[in-house]
A = this chain, B = another copy of it.
Amino acid sequence: MSPKITGELLRQLRQAMKNCKYFSEPIQAYIIPSGDAHQSEYIAPCDCRREFISGFDGSAGTAIVTEQHAAMWTDGRYFLQANQQMDNNWTLMKMGLKETPSQEDWLISVLPENSKVGVDPWIIAADQWKNMFKALSSAGHSLVAVQDNLIDAVWPDRPERPSTQLRSLGLDFTGISWQDKITTLRAKMSERKITWFVATALDEIAWLFNLRGADIEYNPVFFAYTIVGMSTIRFFVDLKRLSDPAMREHLQLDSPSKPELSIQTFPYESVYTELQAICAALGPKDKVWICDKASCALTQVIPKTHRSPIPYTPLCLGKAVKNATEIQGMKMAHIKDAVALCELFAWLEKEIPNGNVTEISAADKAEELRSQQKDFVGLSFPTISSVGPHGAIIHYRPLPETNRTLTVNEVYLIDSGAQYVDGTTDVTRTVHFGTPSAFEKECFTYVLRGHIAVSAAIFPNGTKGHLLDSFARAALWESGLDYLHGTGHGVGCFLNVHEGPCGISYKTFADEPLEAGMIVSDEPGYYEDGSFGIRLENVVLVVPAKPKYNYRNRGSLTFEPLTLVPIQMKMMNTELLTQKERDWVNEYHRKCREVVGAELERQGRQEALEWLIRETQLII
């Protein structure tokens, strides 16, 4: 991976920062956040502004350019990758380390007095704007909204915004009609005396209308906004996408069943003016719900006295708790995904000794095998296929210039997943095709112990995920080891592979209590820079638990693994496992063999079945 040369681009950007065409006075710093106008984690090529200016293409990061400096904040998953992708015009700010200043503190330390810091108000979230605004103001600087995006100004061949074909999903996939979702939303609005609700997150809008798109790679969403009132529904989307008769029928555009379920459609771009018009007509008591992570631009359209910012919208919470149909779909998707992975590992085992399997060809093979499964749509994120030292680059993605051959001498880590019409998958396995070293096995076993500690945990109803995070780390901590990322994220159902509002992390924000029906990942790891990476990830479903007692009738929860792919026994040092942990591994493998074995048999995939049976022997 060679770094992007950014000297000339930064010169142009700094020129634009001084250019009165964009604003009345020059700005001394410009913030380039990661997201799009919907604060999406994965973004369309037209929105990859931070990557364009810096070269760093990880999923999380914020760039700030001043007259003298260019700095990039990102987290532990991306330290190595960012270092490799950025040239020495850039300083990497390692978030999570004690010595790393926050963006605010850093700006205050480098800016001359009374500086102006600019940002595009469409791509900064309202809560981030607020924090930054406060911190800069209290230090005598100001944060200013720059309406023209300055990266776009220096990006001559910026791609078009995509507008892919929409797909409607029936009740057999969604379990609840969009009409019923609207009704539930309105009930929550009237409970809280809210008259309008503005939806800006793309996955929430897709979930609400039981629609999917392909505007953003890996995420089956489409660019849209929605404003729901107590009797009207306004839907902002490229109108060309609604011409198909089946689509019009799905949305009942031509013959709504009830007037309050009639959808008014508007061009995507008109959301700003339409929201202005709504706000101009608000009564004195009218309240508008908008997520505090929505764009600053749209949030500030709503007068402060009418604005009711919320950390999570009712759609976000509704989407997180999967209904019976969605759970069934997720289970089916994971069985199909396991079939593909059993085939992949059987194939790798056979092919690697021939020396012609690379990180890229292994990833391609995984995709090819997944694509043979029913209702496959695409991958759910770029496959992390990494050998040896590449495994320590937490979100490594093999490129032709970095591509490494799989051998019997190095640890192989593959973190991959797919979108099927019935569900989304995300699974990581770390394997060795020769003989792992004692240290590799030791680390793998600590990671496995952490994985089991979370997966088998029983905890009271109402527990937030951050209270489980240390369970995943205890075995590593005991030996002085750790990993610099969270333990798990919410997973959508044929939606984004990362979703809120629940998760398992030492970070305590963005963390609603776990409830039965939520689906999260459980993925502790260990990374030895320059040598190897280990991660073990299952997607798990929150289910009721029935322990011996029931203190204060609160009820208890635990996790049921949806991912059913064997965990390589060769990597385990079973002497470091307790009997309970060995029992967990054996029971997990029994279930893999039973459930995935039956499907492999049904699909007639004999070689993979034999591999599965071999890989699910009892450990003692």
Interface of A with B (CB < 8 Å)?
98, 138, 308, 457-460, 462, 466-471, 473-474, 477-482, 506, 508, 545, 547-552, 554, 556, 578
Q: B551–A467 contact, CB under 8 A?
A: no
Can you name the residue of chain B whose Cβ is closest to the Cβ of A456? B478
Bound Cα distance from A262 to B343, whole angstroms: 80
Cβ–Cβ contact B98 & A480, under 8 A:
no
Q: Which residues of B contact A479 (CB under 8 A)?
A: 547-549
Q: Shortest beta-carbon distance, A77 to chain B, in Å?
A: 15
Q: How far is the CA of A481 from the CA of B460 in the complex (A)?
A: 8
| Pairwise interchain contact A477-B460, C-beta atoms closer than 8 A | yes
Determine whether the beta carbon of A482 is less than 8 Å from that of B551.
yes
How far is the CB of A358 from the nearest CB of chain B, in Å?
30
User: Distance in Å from the Cβ of A292 to the closest Cβ of chain B?
Assistant: 14
When A and B form their complex, which 3 residue pairs have the shortest distance between CB atoms, in order from nearest? Answer: A480-B547, A480-B549, A508-B508
Q: Which of B462, B471, B508, B547 contacts A470 (CB 8 A)?
A: B471
**CA A481 – CA B554 in complex, angstroms?**
9
Q: Say yes or no: B98 contacts A481, CB within 8 Å.
A: no
Copies of this chain present in the complex amount to: 2
Which B residue's beta carbon lies closest to that of A484? B552
- Contact of B548 with A482 in the complex, beta carbons under 8 Å: no
Contact A469 B467, CB 8 Å, known A459-B477, A556-B480: yes
* Interface pair B480/A458, CB less than 8 Å apart: yes
| A484, chain B: closest CB distance, angstroms | 8
Could you say which residues of chain B place their CB within 8 Å of the CB of A474? Answer: 457, 471
Bound CA–CA A460/B458 (angstroms): 25
Q: Are A460 and B482 in contact (CB under 8 A)?
A: yes
In contact, B556 and A462 (Cβ under 8 angstroms):
no
A458-B478 CB under 8 A given contacts A508-B466, A508-B508: yes
CA distance A459 to B506 in the complex (A): 13
Closest-by-CB residue of B relative to A459 is B477
Chain B residues lying within 8 Å of A138, measured Cβ to Cβ, are: 308
Residues of B contacting A548 in the complex (Cβ-Cβ under 8 angstroms) = 479-480
Residues of chain B lying within 8 A (CB to CB) of residue A467: 469-470, 506
On whether the beta carbons of A556 and B477 are closer than 8 Å, the reply is yes
> Which residue of chain B has its CB nearest to the CB of A284?
B140
16 further A-B pairs in the complex, CB-CB below 8 A; given A457-B477, A459-B470: A458-B480, A459-B477, A460-B477, A460-B482, A466-B466, A466-B508, A467-B469, A467-B506, A470-B470, A477-B547, A479-B547, A479-B548, A480-B545, A480-B547, A481-B549, A482-B552
